[in-house]
Structure formats: structure tokens, C-alpha cells
Structure 1
Amino acid sequence: MSVQPDITQQALRHRSREIVDAVAEGQSFTLTRDGRPIGRLLPLWQPRRFVSRREFAAGSRAAPAVDLDAFRADQDAMAADPGPDDPYAR
């Protein structure tokens, strides 16, 4: 986990464009007033990052096995029942 740098209220006021651009790029900040933390500036989403094949394979080893027949049966059951929220249901 990366360290969230502290940013003062005054710095936020004077450098807001630079700080907002950094947040848009994925940087987080801890906002301080009088040396005390009062809030956090966090991006709503994290920028996508490349995952190598090796890293993906290592992370997938712990994933549970998928029963393909049961998966297909679940999909077929969902397709047959559009549910109450389907705007095209008659």
C-alpha cells in the first residue's frame, strides 16, 4: 500500500489544480489542518495497471475450480427467467 502524503488546507487552496490532477491519476492525500488529519482525498477509481501473465497465473492458482456444467445450467436458468425488472417482459 502506498503512503498517502499529507497536504495542508492552505496547500490545497493554492495548488488545487495540481492536487486534483494528481488525484485523477490515482494519488491519495491526507488533508490536514493545524497539523491534524481531518480528511482524505481519494480517487473514485484506481487507474488500470498491466498484470503480467505470470502474475495472473500466480493469483489464479488459489481460485476455486469451476464446474462448467453447473455454470451453464445456472446461465440457462437465468436466461429462461427474465425476472421482474426486465423492461421487455410481457
Structure 2
Amino acid sequence: MAAQPEITQRDLRNRSKEIMDAVEHGQAFTVTRDGHQIGELIPLRRRRRFVPREEFAAMSRGASAIDIDAFRADQDAALDHDAADPYGR
């Protein structure tokens, strides 16, 4: 793994757009002040929000079958049957 490039606090201030664009594209930096490392500037991990149907189907092929009766029994066991009716019935 390659070392992160170091940038000074002044570089961060003066070249913020350029540096933030690099971070957005996956580059990480170590920020220094007076020659001392004070922090890291790293990109956020992006989670996918959409999985294509074909990929979901491929992942699901290896999943175990669901016993619907056992599933409903588990739900009933977890449900508070004595909870107040929100509609006041």
C-alpha cells in the first residue's frame, strides 16, 4: 500500500478545490501543520443503493429456502399482542 501524500494546512487552504476534487476521486492525504502530522483527509466509502436484478438473482441462488410457517411463528412470537390499538378499537 502506497503512503498517502502529505499536504500542509496552508496547501489545504490555498488549493482546497483541487484537493477536494482529488479526494472525491479516491485520493487520501495526510495533513500537516508545522511539520507534524495532524490528520487525514480521506474519501467516504460510497454504498451502492441499487443492485441490478441479475446480480441480486445470482446472489440469491445460494440462499437457503424460507419455511414460511416458521417465519410467521417467529413474527408472532416477537409481536406484542397486548399493544394498544393505535386506532382506539
Change (3 A) 1:26 1:17: same
Q: 1:72 aligns to what? A: 65
Q: Mind listing any 5+ residue stretches in structure 1 that lack a counterpart?
A: 47-65, 85-90
Aligned position for 2:14 = 14
Q: How does 1:32-71 map to 2 (within 5 A)?
A: 32-45=32-45, 71=64
Instruction: Give the counterpart letter for 2:37 in structure 1.
Output: P
Moved over 4 A (4+): none
- Secondary structure of the equivalent of 2:66? helix
- C-alpha distance in 1 between matches for 2:27 and 2:42: 7
**Partner secondary structure for residue 39 of structure 2:** strand
Task: Please provide the CA RMSD for this pair.
Answer: 3.0
Q: Write out per-residue CA displacement over residues 25-73 of structure 1, whole angstroms, 9 at most, x where no aligned residue.
A: 0000000001110000000116xxxxxxxxxxxxxxxxxxx6x5xx223
Percent identity (aligned): 50
Aligned residues, how many?
A: 63
Query: SS of 2:38's equivalent?
Result: strand
Where does residue 55 of structure 2 map in the other structure? none
The amino acid that maps onto 2:12 is L
* In structure 2, C-alpha distance between the alignment counterparts of 1:28 and 1:45, rounded to whole Å: 12
* TM-score under structure 1 length normalisation: 0.55
Which has the greater radius of gyration? 2
